[in-house]
């Protein structure tokens, strides 16, 4: 399990992919992508309500630290052929979350996957990038800035490795 110190939080506000400012641009960007992973309730809801279904969606049924409304939750809950539950407290990346993302990738070629995080999904982009097979595009919202789109390459994986090396790691055998 990784514990993310407050001093590293600013690191996560830096955009490492492409910043998209509106839905039209987002859907234009996504139409030629092979494997899409959406992280966060608002971005996942936006995709689903527009008839676009990611391969994997990672949510916690919260937006800006508040529970999402019932309609939004109902739409998100209806997504996915396979639902995986993971525990992940705020400011952490647990082994449970990492294992859930690994499992999600392993079945996403056959089924759409919804990963429901009990706790907080905010840092899911890090293991999602690190574990991504070739050809994966990860999208997540950046509050008050837009949507981040990352076509994962070895460069992004190396950036994540560097960030995680500076985090406090807890527990034997944790990834």
Q: Output 67 or 5, whichever has higher pLDDT.
A: 67
pLDDT of residue 83: 98
Residues 81-127: pLDDT tens digits? 999 999 999 989 999 999 999 999 999 999 999 999 999 998 999 99
Per-domain residue ranges of the chain: 2-169
Can you give the length of the chain in residues?
Answer: 175
State in Å, rounded, how far the first CA of the chain is from the last one: 7
Cβ atoms 151, 137 nearer than 8 A:
yes
Q: What is the pTM of this model?
A: 0.92
Q: Answer for the pair 151, 51: CB distance below 8 angstroms, yes or no.
A: no
Higher pLDDT, 16 or 138: 138
Least confident of 4-13, 33-42, 122-131, 137-146: 4-13
Give the integer Cα–Cα distance in Å for 63 and 61: 7
Tokens of 3: 């514990």
- Give the strand pairing for 136-142 and 146-151: antiparallel
Residue 7: what pLDDT? 67
Asked whether the CA dihedral 146, 124, 61, 73 is positive or negative, the reply is: positive
Tens of pLDDT along 22-62? 999 999 999 889 999 999 999 999 999 999 999 999 999 99
What's the confidence (pLDDT) of residue 16? 80
CB 56 within 8 A of CB 115: yes
């Amino acid at each position: 399990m990784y514990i993310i110190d407050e001093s590293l939080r600013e690191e996560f506000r830096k955009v490492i992919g492409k910043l998209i400012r509106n839905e039209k641009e987002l859907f234009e960007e996504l139409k030629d992508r092979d494997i899409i992973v959406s992280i966060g309730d608002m971005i996942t809801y936006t995709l689903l309500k527009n008839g676009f279904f990611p391969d994997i969606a990672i949510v916690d049924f919260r937006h800006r630290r508040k529970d999402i409304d019932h309609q939004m939750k109902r739409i998100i809950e209806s997504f996915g052929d396979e639902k995986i539950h993971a525990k992940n407290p705020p400011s952490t990346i647990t082994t449970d979350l990492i294992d859930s993302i690994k499992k999600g990738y392993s079945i996403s070629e056959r089924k759409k996957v919804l990963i429901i995080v009990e706790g907080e999904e905010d840092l899911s982009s890090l293991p999602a990038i690190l574990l991504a097979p070739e050809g994966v595009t990860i999208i997540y919202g950046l509050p008050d800035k837009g949507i981040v789109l990352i076509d994962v390459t070895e460069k992004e994986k190396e950036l994540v490795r560097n960030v995680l090396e500076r985090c406090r790691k807890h527990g034997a055998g944790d990834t």
